[in-house]
Amino acid sequence: MTMAEDGSRNMPLPIDAAKRGYNLFLLVVAGLGGLLYGMDIGLIGGALPYLQATSPLTAAQLSIVVAAVLLGAVFSTMFAGMLADWMGRKPLMILSGLTFVVSIPMIALSHGYSPLLVGRLLEGVSAGLIGVVVPLYLAECLAASDRGKGTGVFQWLPTSSMVFAALLGIYFSYHVAAVAKTGDASALFAYKDQAWRHLFWVSLPPGILFILGCLLVTESPRWLFKRGKKQQAHAALLRSRTEQQAAVELEEMEESQRKASTLSSSGKKIQDSLLRRKYVVPFLLACIILFCNTATGVNSLIGYNTSILLQGGLSDLHAHWGYVVFTSMNFLLTIVGMALVDRKGRKFLLILGTSGIIVSMVGVGILFLRTEKVSVDARTQVQAMISPSQELTLPFNRDEAAQLLAAQGDAGKRIDAGRASLAIIYSYGDFTAATSFVRSDDPAARPIEITRASCVPANKVLALFKNPLGNLDAAQTAPLKIEKALVGQVPDSSHGWLVALGLFLFMAFYAVGPGVCVWLALSELMPTRIRSNGMSIALVINQLVSTTLAGIFLPFVSKNGYSSMFFLFAGFTVVYFIVAAFFLPETKGKTLEEIEAHFEGSAAFD
C-alpha cells in the first residue's frame, strides 16, 4: 500500500453537494432524536404544577407519573442493543419515534391515572430506545470527520429541548396569571387543566418529523455488511462518502471479518477470567459512579423544579422563569464543560462539580429547614373532619387554614393563613400515603381528597411492593387515621429566589462536571472485553436509581420535608466526591491499553 493510499484512510476527501447535504440531513435526524430524548424528561417539569393542581392524583401517584418515563427507559435500554442487532438500526429508530408519537395523545387526552401512567411509560420506552440506537446509528453511518459533530449534536439537543419546554411553561404561566386576575376560580381551573395537556401536544410535531426523517435515511452500512449485504452496504456508504472513501471503509470491514474468521477457525480461545483485577475494579467504579451520578438528584430536580420553587416561595410565573434559567444553565454550562474536559481532565472537573453540588444542596436544605421548623401538626382537627365512610374531602383555602391554625394556639399565630401550605400523611391499617402540598393562596387548587383507593393497594402483588409485611385484608376495612397534618408557612419571594439560586448553582456545577465527564470517563474505564455488557449493567443501575428517587420524591418530602431530600442528595454526592478524588484515575490523554494496564497493576499514571 502506498503512502497516498494510506493517507486516504485518514484524510477526508472533498465530496459533492448532494453528499454534504445528506451528511447534514443525518445531523438533523440526530438532532430531532436528541430533541425527543430531552422532551421525554423535560416536559413534565413545566406541566407538573398544573397537573398537580387539577387532577385528583395522590402524591405517590404523581411521583410515579414523573418516574414512569425513567422506568420505561430502564426496560427499553435493557433490550435496545439486542433489538438494534436483530431488526436493524433504521427500523428501531422508526419504532422509537412511533412509540413517542403514540404516547403523546395518550398523555394529553388522559382523564385518569392509568392512561396517564401508560402514556408516560411509553414515552420512557421511546427515550430508552432513542438513547441507545441514535448514537449507535450515527457512529456507524457518519464519516470520521463528522462523527464528533454528530455526537455533539445529540448531546446538546436534549439540554436545548429542556430549555424549550421551560419556555413553553412560561408561555402558559403568563396566561394562567391573566386568567387568575379575573377572579373566576372555575375558569382558572379549566385553563390549568388545558395548559399541561397543551405542553405535551406541542411535542408531537418533532416526533412526526423524526419518523419522516428516519424513513428517508439509509440503513447502517455496518449492520448491512454484518448481514452479508455487501452491495447494499456499499450503496449506503456512497450516500455520504466519495467512491474512494466508501471503497476504503468497505475494505476495512472485509479485513475485520477475515481476521475474525481466522481466529474462529484456529479453534483457540483465550482464557481470561472476568474476575481479574483489570475487569472487577473498573466495573465496580463504573457502577458506583453511575449510581452516585443519578443520586445527586439531577433528574428529580429537573422533573420537580417548578414545584420546588413554588413551595420555596415563588409565584407561579416566577417559578416557571426559574425553570427557564435552570435549564439554560444546563445547556450553557454543558458547552463550557465540553470545552474544558480535554484541557483540565475528567477527574478535575468531577471533583469541582461534586464539591459545588454538595455546597448547593446543603444550602438549599438549610433554607427549607428554617421554614419547615415553623410548621404545626393539625392532625386532631383533621381527624375530626373524616366522614362516616372513612374518607376526607378538605378544601384548603384561607378560611380553612385560619381555623386549623387558631386551634394550635400561639404556635399557629406564627403562620399567615393567607400563605399557608398543608400536607397530610394518612393510613388505612398497615398502608400509609401522603398528599401533595396545597397552598391556601391558590384559588384554583383542588380540595384534598383522601379515599381508601388512594392508599390501599388494589391487589396482593401491589401490596407486596408497598409494604411486604402489611395485612391487605385488614386494610380493606380499617378506619382512616391521620398520622400528620402539617400546616406550614409558605416563605416570601426573597426566600424563593435564594432557593432558586441554590438550584442554579447545582445545575451549573453538575453540567460542567458530572454531566459532561461521566459518560466519557466510564467509556474509557471499561476494558474492551466487557465494555458493552458492563456499560449496560451500569446504565440499568443508573436508571433504576433515577426511577426510585423520582418515584419517592413527593411522598418523601410530604412526610419529611424538602430539607431532608436535599440533605440526602448531598450525602450521596459526598460519596461521589470521595470516589472521584481518591479512587478514579485521570484518563485524559491515555490510550485504552494504558488504562487497562493501570487497573491490572502493571502500569501507573503520572
Q: At what angle do helices 514-525 and 592-600 cross, to 10 degrees?
A: 70
Cα distances from 356 to residues 325, 513, 574, 577, in angstroms, run 18, 9, 11, 10
Adjacent-strand bridge partners of 376? 487
- Mean pLDDT in residue range 35-56: 78
Taking 70 as the threshold, does the pLDDT of residue 400 lie above it?
yes
Q: If DSSP codes are grouped into helix, strand and coil, which group holds residue 604?
A: coil
Grid coordinates standing for 246? 466508501
Q: What is the pLDDT of residues 130-140, one digit of tens each?
A: 877 887 777 67
Give the max Cα distance, the chain.
93
d(CA 239, CA 256): 22
Q: How confident is the model at residue 376 (pLDDT cuts 50, 70, 90)?
A: confident
**Between residues 500 and 71, the one the model is more confident about:** 500
Q: What is the pLDDT of residues 379-398, one digit of tens each?
A: 999 999 999 999 999 998 88
Cα distances from 420 to residues 83, 104, 386, 477, 559, in angstroms, run 52, 35, 21, 33, 17
Supply φ then ψ for residue 188, to 5 degrees: -65, -40
Cα 476–Cα 483–Cα 47 angle in degrees, nearest 5 = 85
- Identify residue 110 by its one-letter amino acid code: S
Adjacent-strand bridge partners of 394? 448
d(CA 129, CA 72): 10
b (16+ CB within 10 A) / e for 518-531: bbbbbebbbbeebb
Gyration radius from the chain CA atoms:
27
Helix then strand then coil, % of the chain, to nearest 5: 75, 5, 20
Q: If DSSP codes are grouped into helix, strand and coil, which group holds residue 178?
A: helix
**Between residues 15 and 555, the one the model is more confident about:** 555
CB count, 10 Å around CB of 272?
A: 10
d(CA 400, CA 53): 18
**Torsion of Cα atoms, 536 then 537 then 540 then 541, to 10°:** -140
Q: What is the pLDDT of residues 231-259, one digit of tens each?
A: 888 888 888 777 887 787 777 777 766 76
Q: If DSSP codes are grouped into helix, strand and coil, which group holds residue 544?
A: helix
Taking 80 as the threshold, does the pLDDT of residue 153 lie above it?
no
DSSP collapsed to 3 states, 48-115: HHHHHHHCCCCHHHHHHHHHHHHHHHHHHHHHHHHHHHHHCHHHHHHHHHHHHHHHHHHHHCCCCHHH
Domains along the chain? 14-217 (1.20.1250.20), 376-490 (no CATH)
Q: At what angle do helices 144-181 and 185-201 cross, to 10 degrees?
A: 170
Q: What is the pLDDT of residues 199-237, one digit of tens each?
A: 889 889 989 999 999 999 888 888 888 888 888 888 888
Supply φ then ψ for residue 423, to 5 degrees: -135, 135
Q: How confident is the model at residue 499 (pLDDT cuts 50, 70, 90)?
A: very high
d(CA 168, CA 165): 5
Give percent of the chain above pLDDT 90. Answer: 19
- Residue holding cell 409558605? 490
List all residues 6 or more positions away from 429 whose beta carbon is below 8 Å from its beta carbon: 456, 470, 471, 474, 475, 478
d(CA 433, CA 463): 13
- Mean pLDDT in residue range 93-100: 94
Q: How confident is the model at residue 530 (pLDDT cuts 50, 70, 90)?
A: low
- Mean pLDDT in residue range 452-475: 83
Write the DSSP assignment of 184-252 as a string of letters: -HHHHHHHHHHHHHHHHHTTHHHHHHHHHHHHHSPPPHHHHHHTT-HHHHHHHHHTTS-HHHHHHHHHH
Grid coordinates standing for 331? 445547556
CB count, 10 Å around CB of 339?
A: 12
Supply φ then ψ for residue 345, to 5 degrees: 100, 155
- Of the candidates 418, 407, 419, 410, the one whose C-alpha atom is nearest the C-alpha of residue 379 is 407
Grid coordinates standing for 208? 412526526
Write the DSSP assignment of 410-473 as a string of letters: HHHHTS-GGGEEEEEEEEETTEEEEPPPEETT-TTPPPEEE-GGGTS-SSHHHHHHH-TT--HH
CB count, 10 Å around CB of 543?
A: 26
d(CA 284, CA 286): 5
Q: What is the pLDDT of residues 532-554, one digit of tens each?
A: 566 667 777 777 887 788 777 77
- Mean pLDDT in residue range 265-276: 51
